[in-house]
């Protein structure tokens, strides 16, 4: 379901955004169509990496413990108090 973008140059942040909003309001620049449902469906393709779709990814994710992360932090910055 496409939604209508309501352009308001007063809400634009930055000179380029203000100019684009003014042009859209005047009709000299096309207003982009927003289809939230379509964008959401497309985003699902990127929400899971390939490694997480198999056993290797599951094992790698389960192997990390908070103590391992603390040790990695100490290795990176030994002078920090963790």
pLDDT tens-digit map of 13-64: 888 888 888 888 888 988 888 888 998 998 888 877 777 777 776 666 666 6
CA-CA distances (angstroms) from residue 23 to 1, 7, 9, 57, 80?
Answer: 25, 10, 9, 48, 53
Shared domain check, 70 and 42: no
Total domains, the chain: 2
Shared domain check, 35 and 4: yes
Shared domain check, 4 and 38: yes
Q: What's the rounded Cα separation, in Å, for the pair 31 and 23?
A: 9
Q: What's the rounded Cα separation, in Å, for the pair 73 and 82?
A: 8
pLDDT band at 81 (very low <50, low <70, confident <90, very high): low
**Count of CA atoms in the C-beta half-sphere (13 A) of 75:** 6
Shared domain check, 9 and 37: yes
């Amino acid at each position: 379901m496409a939604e209508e973008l309501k352009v308001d140059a007063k809400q634009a942040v930055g000179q380029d955004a203000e100019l684009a909003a003014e042009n859209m309001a005047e009709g000299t620049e096309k207003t982009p169509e927003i289809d939230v449902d379509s964008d959401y469906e497309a985003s699902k393709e990127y929400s899971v990496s390939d490694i997480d779709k198999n056993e290797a990814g599951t094992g790698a994710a389960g192997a990390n413990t908070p103590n391992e992360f603390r040790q990695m932090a100490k290795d990176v910055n030994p002078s920090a108090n963790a």
